Each structure stands twice: as structure tokens, then as C-alpha cells.
Amino acid sequence: MAIFYQQQNRIFTLQTKQTTYQMKVDDFGFLLHLYYGGRISGNMDYLLTYYDRGFSGNPYDVGNNRTYSMDVLPQEYPTMGIGDYRNSGLIIRNHDESECCDLRYVGYNIREGKYGLSGLPAVHADLHEAETLEITLEDRVSKMQVRLLYGVLEEEDIITRSVEIGNNGENTVTVEKAASACLDFISGDYDLISFYGRHAMERNLQRTAIAHGSYVIGSRRGTSSHQYNPAVIVASPDTTEDNGSCYGMVFVYSGNFMCEAEKDQYEQTRVIMGLQSDLFHYSLAPGETFTVPETILCYSDRGFSDLSIKYHRCIRKHICRGRYNDCSRPILVNSWEAAYYDFTGETILQLAQDAAGLGIDMVVMDDGWFGKRGDDNSGLGDWQVNEEKLDCTLGELIRKINDIGVKFGIWIEPEMVSEDSELYREHPDWAIQIPGRKPVRGRNQLVLDFSRAEVRNYIYRQICNVLDQGNIEYVKWDMNRSITDIFSTGNSQGKVVYDYVLGVYDFLEKLTAQYPEILVEGCSGGGGRFDAGMMYYTPQIWCSDNTDALDRLRIQYGTSFFYPMSVVGAHVSAAPNHQTGRNISLHTRGIVAMTGAFGYELSLAKLSEEDKEEIREQIRLYKEYEELIRTGDYYRLSNPFQDAYAAWMHVSDDKKQVLLHVVMLENHGNMTVSYVRLKNLLSDTVYEDVHSGQRYYGSALMKAGIPMLVELGEYRAYRFIFRACVE
Ligand code: GLA
């Protein structure tokens, strides 16, 4: 049992293995937040204090009690219009244009299993793994009914939150803002850790104190974006990787989002995660319901490492789905950085032949195989195989590739249309643009209106037609621009951005159900849609268009705070690197890419015999440790933005097998020695370094660490494999 309700004082308690979450319905029917943090016993309503606070108004029904104000009390789901002047989780514009929603308690329901959300990705669990609490609140005047959904995964220390907003009234209302989670802290100082970036440099960590005023991150780009990831950590100022208190909030959504953190006049902190309110006005007719995407909450009092491990497990087991979630991924070579648009069928076949000689499992034909697509200015939307370019049918090409023992995968970008395409000439109104205005172009392409079923169904048929032409075992689903000019000819304008994302989910749901054997890898100019929403459909996502090993270390470091390594697509590319011009050894590039779902992205034909030999060895090693990398616990052992080295490790569940990788970032004259300390080993167990045969106690590896070699050369990288010795 994880969810408890005490009838006499109307307190709800959610218990996980190591955390407690508590809330209370008070005498006026408001749902107040009491506590979230390390596991405790007892009722926490003694924490609530009441004082007469000037300029903080009092709800009418509290009578002359001037000490009761929503402006001060901690709340579960704060709304606009009830005297709380802090950030709101919900803003409803009523039929009479007033902005007020006064939610009071109606009832609750507790059930076994985890709730699901219609049309949206959400944490899933077996019946015995989770419980659901549903609390119904209502505005007695407008009859808006709000159901707060809580999913509790006791063993995983995970609590999920989502909200269903139902219009039970007689008039249409508009949802102007909707969040799925609010964390109100009555005391304490907190930092907000968010992950900002740009195309080809995603998920850099930023830590800022939550101060008076509001600190807001989010996206208005139509996707979750390269610029801010929809996941944050709220931590005590002294929290480190290994110590201290921290809360995670991960939004399971791939479109516009907003996270607001503020400290109020009484030094209380509020953090809200939900949908972006700009470009969003969702009208709800009587009888209709709107669902706010889920936020996954997690708390640890043992620092960021522990928080990350919990998110990794949750996302890998309870978000990602499909056959490939639990089995080894093919090592692939992708044609993009090998040939860009300049290929024929022969080029792809040659790449497959070279791949076969190295032990690579799959060749992926990236952008350029369809319509008129000699470069990135035309052809999107015309999903017909360019047989002239390939010099054969797609089926023939795949057969030839399969005949040499190599699997075949293909790139698609279903959400897009080029103005120079047959599709656009036929259906210009299918592109998102405002009538009478010239649209903003991005990569010279426009975005198709996936909020409209007829548009996505047409594209769906085109894509299926391609997938049915041969034995396609992998699809890379790309999305290469941000959305602007929000307007739809078939929808109401304030709904477009949300319905668009649900349209993408609908497409992906159908695609993955119809082709369960295909591995779908997500991508949006690399990591522009690297979020838990996409991970529900695509258990692997291309982490960044930046394949430079040094930059990748940092991108993968930021990514690892929430997302499991099984999702992180990581490839070895050419030197000098195409994004940075940096020259890094093949050995180091291999080590960096071996952090996640491993592959190659370079012309294999240009490799020297020596490089080919090294690649064969990389592949042998990756195959040996693929399961450990995919399913083991991943620990960051340094901060590559600050430290002289980057280090990380994968350790098996039983802690008996360890893979440690280190890349030296600094080299100076008369260089100092770096000591790398491991984590989460068995203290009293002896581990053997399989290469050197040297033995160490787990406690020694964790407390004192091991010295790195001081060697000449830039970005030297080291791999250590430790095995627990069975005496
Ligand atoms: C995006 C992807 C790349 C590649 C190109 C093709 O940028 O991230 O990997 O597929 O599109 O146009």
C-alpha cells in the first residue's frame, strides 16, 4: 500500500520506499500541500501557520478570519483568481471573460495500478507496481471539474502528477494556462538546476538560486527544444552529486512547456511545471475534458547521483516501450556524415559492404533518398523513393544489403514540407502559416499541420508505403525546425500547438503498433526533442548533431541527469570533426560514443587498415558490454565543465561488473595526477582490473580512487573493466 487517506482529518499520504508526500483538504475544502521529502511518519499539518498578512486577501467563506489567505498557504494546485498572487498552475477564462477558478474538494478515488492518459505518453506500470490517487475538485460557480491524478511507484520512489480539466458547466470556457505539478515549499533556500543549450550544444547545466521574483524557462518552439530541456532539479544550495536534498520534475511532453520558480514575500518557494501559456488558449465546450501532460516527481536526500539513477530506472522501465527497450540495439553506420546528400544506391551498398567487413550490424540511409532532394531546400513531403538516384528500387537495394548480412534502416521527416515539393504545390494550406502573411522559413522548410487528422493520415499512408517496400528494421524520425506562424485552417488557433504534439503522438502510436519490429530512433536536429514524451515511442534518440567527442562528453553529461544511457544515440564520426574541426583520436571517439546506443557516422571506405582494426575491436568490446551499458546503473564521476578529466561508469545490478571510462581534458607541462573515485561498489569485495590483473577493494576504489596516467597528448582516454573476484 502506498496511498493512505485519513477520513477524520482528510489527509492524503503517498508513501514510497524513501519518500513521503502529504496533502490535506482543509475546513474550507481547499487542498493544501503539507510535505514532500524524505520518508516521515505522522501528520504534517502542524507545519501550517496562520497570521494576518496585509494585502493578502481572505476567501469570503472564511468569514472574519483575516489569518487565512491563499496568498500564503502551500497549495497542491494553485489557480488564478482566488487571492493567490504567486504563479498559478491553472488559469481559466470563463464565459463572462472573468479569470477565476475557485477549486474546492469534491471527493477522491484510490485504485491499483497506474492511470493512463488519453492521447498522451505517461509512465506505465504493471497493476502491482503502482497505485493511483484521483482527487476531484470543483469550482461551484462555473462547474469546472479538475481531477488531480497521482501515480505512486513505491519501489522506484516515483510520484507522477497529471490533471484532467473537465467542463461540467453550460458555457464554453478557455484554458489559458495549465500545469501538472506544483511544489510549494514553506521554508528553505533552493537552487534551480536547468539544462539550456542550442542546436549542436544541448543540455548544459545551469544552477541558480531561486530568489525573489520569478525565474522561468520553457519553449515556444513547438518542440521541447534544444534551448531548454523540460526537466529541472530543485536542490538545497549545499546539494552535490553524493549528498543533499534534491527534487526532480520531468515533464513527459514534447512541445511547448514552461517551468516557473519563485520565492514569495514570506520566503516560501514555488516551482511549477506545465504547458507554456503563450500561444495557448484551449477552448473547452460543455462536456469536454482537457488533459495536462504528466510530470514525474522524484526526491532524494542523497544527492544528484541517486536522483539520476532513479530517473534512469523509471524512464527505462516505465516510459520506454517496445521490443527494443529490452534487447540489444544494432550497431549502425549512418550515411549522413559519410555522404550527406551525395549518394547513390551503390554508395549505400558500398557502405553496407564496408560495414559487414567491420562487424557493423546495420546501414542507415539518411536524408536524400526521396522526391527531389539533392539538398535541404526541396522535396520534403514527397515520400516517394527516388529510384533514379538509387539506380534501383528500394526493395532491391535492401535485398542486396540484407544478402551481405547487414540490416537496413531509413531516415524520415514526416512533419515537414518543402515549398518546392509536389505536396506543397497540391496542398499549400496543409503547412502551418497565417493566411495573408509570408511564413518564417526554417532550413527552407515549413511545418505540416499535424493537428489535422487528414494531413497526418495522408503522410502516414505515404510513409507506410515506403516501409512496406522491403525489410526495413530501423527508422530515424527527424524534425528539423521550430514552429512559427501558428494557424490552422481546420482547428481553433489557441489549440494548434497542443493538438500538433498530440498529432505527432497519434502518428507514432500507430506507426509503432503497426511495425513493432522496427526500432524507431527519435531526432530533432539531434537533441531538440530529447524528452520523456518522445521516449514513450522511441527508445533511442539521436542525442545531438554534434559528434565531436569533447563536446559530446559535456552534452552526454547534462543529458545523464535524467535520461538513461539506453536512450542516448552516440556515434563515432570522422576526424577532423565536421562540427568543430577538432582532431581527436579514434580511441577516444570510441570511448565517448560507447556511453550510449553506439554507432558510426563516417565514410568507412576512407579508413586506414589500422583504423579498421581498431573499429573491429571497438565493436567486439561494445557487443560484450552492451547489456551493461544499456541496463546497468550509470554514474557521473566528474564534472567535465570543471574538472581536468571526464569520467563515468556503468555498474551491473549485482555490482560485480564495472565499466569505467575516463577522458583527460587538460594537459599541461609537468602535469598533476588525477585520481578517479568509483561509486556504488561492494565495499568489502575485491575487484580485479581485467587488463592489468591488479586487485583493489571496493572501498579503496570508492574512497581513494585510482591514479590516471600522465601521458603526452590531447584527450587521452582510458577504459577499465573491473570484475568482482569470487574467492
Ligand atoms: C538532422 C539530423 C541529422 C541528419 C540531418 C538530415 O540535422 O539531426 O542527423 O539526419 O537532419 O537532414
pLDDT tens per residue across span 26-44 = 999 999 999 999 999 999 9
From the CB of 234, is ligand 1 less than 6 Å away? no
- For residue 601, give the ligand 1 atom closest to its CA: 9
Q: Is 260 near ligand 1, meaning CB less than 6 Å away?
A: no
- What are the φ/ψ torsions at residue 578 (nearest 5 degrees)? -70, -20
545 is catalytic: yes
**Cell numbers representing residue 276 in the block:** 507554456
Tell me if residue 478 is catalytic. yes
What is the 8-class DSSP label of residue 524?
A: B
Quote the CA–CA distance of 168 and 139 in Å, as a whole number. 10
Strands, E, within 580-632: which ranges? 597-601
Do residues 408 and 402 make contact, with C-beta atoms less than 8 angstroms apart?
A: yes
pTM of the model: 0.99
Q: What is the mean pLDDT of residues 166-180?
A: 98
User: Is 470 within 8 Å of 399 (Cβ atoms)?
Assistant: yes
Residue 490 confidence class, pLDDT cut points 50, 70, 90: confident
The Cα 117–Cα 120 span in angstroms is 5
Neighbours of 302 (CB within 10 A): 18
Ligand 1 neighbourhood includes 500 CB (under 6 angstroms): no
| 197 neighbors 204 (Cβ within 8 angstroms) | yes
* Ligand 1 pocket, residue 202 CB under 6 Å: no
State whether the beta carbon of 366 lies less than 6 angstroms from ligand 1. yes
Q: How far apart are CA 127 and CA 113, in angstroms?
A: 4
pLDDT of residue 491: 84
Q: Which atom of ligand 1 is nearest to the CA of 376?
A: 12
Exposure on the CB side of residue 450, measured as CA atoms within 13 A = 26
72 touches 55 (CB < 8 A): no
Q: How much of the chain, in percent, has pLDDT values that exceed 90?
A: 99
| Mean pLDDT of the region 162-175 | 98
Give residue 701's pLDDT: 98
What pLDDT, on a 0 to 100 scale, did the predictor assign at position 727? 66
Residue closest by Cα to atom 1 of ligand 1: 525
Label residue 689 by pLDDT band (50, 70, 90).
very high
**Cα–ligand 1 centroid distance for 278 (angstroms):** 29
Q: At 399, which helix (H) or strand (E)? A: helix 394-403
Strand pairing category for 657-664 and 695-697: unpaired
Return d(Cα 691, Cα 453) in angstroms, integer: 57
Cα-flanking dihedrals φ and ψ of residue 437, to 5°?
Answer: -120, 150
Which set of grid coordinates corresponds to residue 448?
505540416
Among 544, 461, 525, 631, residue whose Cα is nearest residue 222: 525
Q: What DSSP element (H or E) covers 611? A: helix 609-631
Q: Which of 476, 523, 573 to mutate to test the pocket of ligand 1 (most atoms within 8 A of CB)?
A: 523
90, 178 Cβ separation under 8 angstroms: yes
State the chain's mean pLDDT as an integer: 98
For position 726, what pLDDT does the model report? 84
Q: Taking 80 as the threshold, does the pLDDT of residue 255 lie above it?
A: yes
In this structure, the residue with its CA closest to atom 12 of ligand 1 is 367
Q: Are 179 and 275 in contact (CB under 8 A)?
A: yes
Element (H, E) at 338: helix 336-339
Residue 22 is placed in which grid cell? 502529504
Are 421 and 431 a contacting pair, CB within 8 Å?
no
Instruction: Say how many Å lie between the CA of residue 660 and the centre of ligand 1.
Output: 31
pLDDT digits (tens, 9 = 90+) for 621-677: 999 999 999 999 999 999 999 999 999 999 999 999 999 999 999 999 999 999 999
pLDDT above 80: residue 465: yes
Backbone angles phi, psi at 664, to 5 degrees: -80, 130
C-alpha cell, 438: 509570408
Q: Residues 197, 227: contact at Cβ < 8 Å?
A: yes
Nearest CA residue ID for atom 4, ligand 1: 336
